[in-house]
């Protein structure tokens, strides 16, 4: 099964990636659709997803982001055909353990955007940090550590996109949020960006194909 929102996000990401890369990623739309819509179990889908990326090295930058989408699709579509308490079973616990090193922080952000839609809440960075990630709570200090660059730079939402790009580039390479910092901050700055605004975001990106693909995914979730 595939969630219609995931289907839209995949297509949007492939279009955006292709626009800023010499490789036409849109040719893989059917291949990715088949992976996500498959009736296979989750780990088999992961293997199928990896097989597509293994065959098309030009797409490598999006491998873990598409894993995040696969996980979201599992939560929103696949899990409906399983037992109600499946996410509390030993089987799912083992899957989580096996895929512990997969994906990016985009997963949390997409879960948040789904929650915003469910509860009819306008997405906002402060709400994401404090109400969803609970970074102010003592028991969530891992989240605080990961998102510290975001917490310290919330003022960027009032700054030109160029400044967001400058800060994104200056983050340490081992920062767990570095990869999606730029598209995430640009998204929260302008959740209804015009084509002109998106052109400016692309102009100030270091990794245009990746950043605009991620930005397009985020747009698909609101």
Tell me the pLDDT band of 32, cut-offs 50, 70 and 90. very high
**Is the pTM here over 0.85, yes or no?**
yes
Dihedral angle sign, alpha carbons of residues 127, 194, 196, 180: positive
Tell me the pLDDT band of 27, cut-offs 50, 70 and 90. very high
* CB burial of residue 162 (10 Å; 0-12, 13-18, 19+): exposed
Tell me the pLDDT band of 142, cut-offs 50, 70 and 90. confident
Residue 77, pLDDT above cutoff 80: no
Contact 189, 161 (CB under 8 A): yes
Residue 178, pLDDT above cutoff 80: yes
Pure H helices in 77-137: 90-98, 106-119, 125-127
pLDDT for 25 equals 96
- Rounded-to-integer distance, Cα 64 and Cα 205, Å: 19
How much is the mean pLDDT over the chain?
93
pLDDT for 40 equals 92
């Amino acid at each position: 099964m595939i969630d219609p929102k995931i289907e839209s996000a995949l297509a949007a990401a492939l279009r955006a990636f292709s626009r800023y890369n010499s490789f036409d990623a849109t040719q893989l739309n059917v291949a990715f659709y088949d992976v996500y819509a498959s009736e296979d179990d989750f780990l088999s889908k992961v293997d199928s997803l990896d097989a597509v990326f293994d065959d098309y090295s030009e797409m490598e930058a999006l491998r873990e982001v598409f894993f995040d989408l696969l996980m979201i699709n599992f939560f929103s579509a696949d899990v409906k055909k399983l037992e109600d308490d499946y996410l509390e079973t030993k089987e799912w616990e083992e899957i989580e353990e096996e895929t512990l090193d997969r994906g990016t922080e985009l997963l949390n952000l997409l879960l948040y955007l789904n929650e915003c839609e469910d509860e009819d809440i306008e997405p906002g960075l402060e709400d994401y940090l404090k109400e969803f990630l609970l970074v102010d709570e003592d028991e969530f200090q891992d989240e605080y550590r990961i998102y510290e660059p975001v917490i310290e730079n919330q003022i960027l939402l009032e700054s030109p996109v160029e400044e967001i790009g400058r800060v994104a580039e200056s983050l340490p390479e081992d920062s767990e949020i570095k990869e999606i910092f730029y598209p995430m901050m640009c998204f929260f700055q302008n959740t209804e960006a015009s084509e002109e605004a998106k052109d400016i975001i692309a102009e100030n990106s270091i990794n245009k194909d990746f950043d605009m693909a991620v930005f397009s995914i985020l747009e698909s979730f609101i």
